[in-house]
Amino acid sequence: MNTTKIGWIGLGNMGIPMAEQLVKADYSVIIYNRSKDKEAALKEMGASTAETPQELIKATEVIVIMVADDAAIEQIFNGAEGLFSAEISGKIIINMSTVSPAISKEMAIMCKKRGAEYLDAPVSGSVKQAETGLLVIMVGGDEAAFEQVKPILEKIGKMAVRLGDTGAGNVAKLAINSLLALYTQGLAETVVFANQQGIKTEDLLNLVNNGAIANTFTKIKGDAIIANNYKPAFALKHIVKDLNLAKAIGLDSPLAKTALNTFEAATAKYGEEDLISVIKHIKE
């Protein structure tokens, strides 16, 4: 068994399969999640549980966080029984959530004051890549801390790359998700346009996926459109959050503005569905 004791906070669509990779790799994993029903599968695999972030960090050396947004990070660190309510000297905290560079910089400073290290390490990839350990991990923070936890990250993803100081991972992720939004809207608009001119979705996507502009994303989301399957691998409301985070640090290009307007308009009706459900909004 790997001797490093890992704490895991956040068991959403991505968090569960990511944490499972570490249990499968024979790490001792302690999990914390607000919704206790989501802990069941990992407990069956051998993970143990903590009742609070405070309890979790006391029992572990490396803590991984995978939650929805800045507000959740604030609560995990500064809540009544949060991480900062415990002695954290010598710990390494890895935040794999898609959050703002600003909150990473804030938490990194506070961790450093307490003798701990903080890494921002968001991921590129969706649920399938999480389930197969093929995520791409982009990291900001101290180089020595990164090297120490790199073997752990490489169990979760196929590559882990340090890009610079605190916040660099967050910036890279927001850039990638901005492109994701453009891909999504472009694919949706292309299918709608072709349909309006009498081309079947299946025929169009067969051409796309065998041509020069084929990629994994258009294949996965094209299949979802054909199957009328909008179960959220990545909820539409989250791309709105990410585009707004990117806008806050300077993203101001014509396509990005258009994508944000489109996804914001679609959120009221389709926010809980997968981001490719924007095609339904475009059709309307």
Per DSSP, the residues of 2-69 read EEEEEEEE--STTHHHHHHHHHHTTEEEEEE-SSGGGGHHHHHHT-EE-SSHHHHHHT-SEEEE--SS
Please say if 173 is a catalytic residue: yes
**Distance between CA atoms of residues 59 and 229, nearest Å:** 41
* Active-site annotation holder among 91, 173, 237, 280: 173
Residue burial 50-78, b: 16+ Cβ < 10 Å; e: rest: bebbbbbbbebbbbbbbbbbbebbeebbe
The sign of the torsion formed by the CA atoms of 212, 218, 223, 225 equals negative
Residues catalogued as catalytic:
173
